[in-house]
Each structure stands twice: as structure tokens, then as C-alpha cells.
């Protein structure tokens, strides 16, 4: 495929992609103006995209459209978020920023509640369910023995419990000595630390693999574009 077969938008997009890929790769030689230009464009495009998504998915359909075209009840309903939006804008002024504290407190409270609810319902309960299901003898895989399934379940249960113990910072005070952990708790925490290290290693390997695939894709793009020119 040569340049003559590209349409104008495809050609402009390909040239911009080639240029900004080289700008990012220029960071190999240290921080420079080309890399900062690429980062600034990336931040600007990401911010503009987030703003457009917020307008079309939240602000217009959830606020302004009901306020302009909605019924009386819908207009009354959106007055509450509209009031909070106005209070948040007052945070810009140091003189009136205290009036925005209720809206900020409401946002923080909702955010914390959503985070805790997500952690409990999306992580803790599924983790408990997945751990206990491994000991369900009725669900034994035909290709696996009961002993192997019990070993898997015991290993996951051990990792879960010892990891929780590792983050247990309680201490027992002895006479004339500073507060220390019991010896058995130290050993369990050490086992949990091993499981945490294995988990972090697996996560790092996954991130490194994904980054390496992205690098290969970008290098392949550069090579193909150079061959297209000739």
C-alpha cells in the first residue's frame, strides 16, 4: 500500500500518529520540548474527550434537558443537583468557599459509600464465595481429583487469611517491654507477605507484558509507515 491509496483523513491521521510516536520515543534522550508537546496534546485531547462525554452523558440529559423540556416534577427534581452545582462553583472564591462545603461533603460521602459498597460487594463477598466454593465436593471437576481440589482450596484459603493477618497491626504489650506482635502472628504475616509478593510480581509481569505489546505495535507501525513511503 502506497501513499496514493490513502484518503486525506487517513493520511493526516497516519502522519500525526507517526509524528507523535517519534515525539514520545524522544524521551529516550531525556525530557525535551518534543516530548512535552506530545504530553500536552495528550492531556488536552483526554480532557476535551472527558468534557464531551460529561456533557452528552451527564450534564445535558440529566440536568439541562429535564430543566428545559421536562415536566414540573422533573424540573423540581433537578433543582437539588443544580443547587449543589452552584454551591461547588462558589469554592472558586476564598470568600464564599465555605458555602460549597455541604456540596463537597455530600460528594465525598457518596464517593466513600460507593467505594466501600463496591469493595464489599465486588471484592470481599466474591472472594469469600470463590474460596468456599473450592471446598464444595459436589462441584468437583471430573478431570481433577478431590485431593487436588482440596489442595487448591486450602492454598487459596491460606493466602487469603495470611494476607489479612499481614495487614493486622495489633500488638500485645509485655511487662517492661514495648508492644510487639506475638511470634505466631509474625510467622503468619511472613507467609502473607510471600503471597503479596507473588501477587505483585504477577501484576507487574502483566503490566510489563501489556507495555511490551504496545511497544511492539508502535514499532511495527513506524516500520510499516516507512516502508509505505517507498
Dihedral Cα 32, 35, 37, 42, nearest 10 deg:
-150
Q: Please tell me the predicted confidence (pLDDT) of residue 198.
A: 93
Query: How many Cα atoms sit within 13 Å of 45 on the Cβ side?
Result: 6
- In what helix (H) or strand (E) does residue 174 lie, and over which residues does it extend? none
User: For residue 202, what is its C-alpha cell?
Assistant: 504477577
pLDDT values of the chain reduced to their tens digit, one per residue, 230 residues: 565 666 777 778 888 888 888 898 899 888 899 999 999 999 999 999 999 999 999 888 888 888 888 888 888 888 888 888 888 888 888 888 888 888 889 989 999 999 999 888 888 888 778 777 766 666 556 566 777 777 877 888 888 888 888 887 655 555 555 556 677 888 888 899 999 999 999 999 999 999 999 889 888 888 887 777 66
Single pTM value for the model: 0.59
Q: Using alpha carbons, select from 103, 108, 77 the residue that is nearest to residue 90.
A: 103
Q: Please report the pLDDT score of residue 174 as a whole number.
A: 55
Q: How many CB atoms lie within 10 A of CB 192?
A: 21
Tell me 29's DSSP state. Answer: G
**Phi then psi dihedrals of residue 172, to 5 deg:** -115, 125
Amino acid at each position: 500500500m502506497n501513499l496514493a491509496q490513502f484518503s486525506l483523513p487517513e493520511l493526516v491521521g497516519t502522519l500525526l500518529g507517526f509524528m507523535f510516536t517519534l515525539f514520545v520515543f524522544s524521551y529516550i534522550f531525556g525530557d525535551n520540548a518534543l516530548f512535552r508537546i506530545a504530553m500536552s496534546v495528550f492531556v488536552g485531547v483526554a480532557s476535551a474527550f472527558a468534557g464531551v462525554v460529561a456533557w452528552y452523558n451527564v450534564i445535558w440529559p440529566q440536568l439541562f434537558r429535564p430543566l428545559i423540556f421536562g415536566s414540573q416534577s422533573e424540573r423540581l427534581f433537578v433543582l437539588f443537583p443544580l443547587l449543589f452545582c452552584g454551591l461547588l462553583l462558589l469554592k472558586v472564591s476564598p470568600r464564599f468557599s465555605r458555602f460549597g462545603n455541604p456540596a463537597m461533603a455530600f460528594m465525598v460521602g457518596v464517593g466513600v459509600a460507593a467505594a466501600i459498597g463496591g469493595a464489599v460487594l465486588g471484592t470481599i463477598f466474591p472472594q469469600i464465595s470463590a474460596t468456599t466454593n473450592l471446598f464444595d465436593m459436589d462441584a468437583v471437576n471430573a478431570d481433577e481429583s478431590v485431593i487436588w481440589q482440596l489442595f487448591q482450596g486450602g492454598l487459596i484459603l491460606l493466602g487469603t487469611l495470611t494476607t489479612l493477618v499481614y495487614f493486622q497491626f495489633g500488638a500485645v504489650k509485655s511487662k517492661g517491654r514495648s508492644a510487639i506482635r506475638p511470634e505466631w502472628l509474625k510467622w503468619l504475616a511472613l507467609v502473607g507477605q510471600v503471597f503479596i509478593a507473588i501477587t505483585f510480581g504477577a501484576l507487574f509481569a502483566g503490566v510489563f507484558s501489556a507495555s511490551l505489546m504496545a511497544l511492539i505495535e508502535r514499532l511495527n507501525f513506524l516500520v510499516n509507515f516507512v516502508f509505505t513511503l517507498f
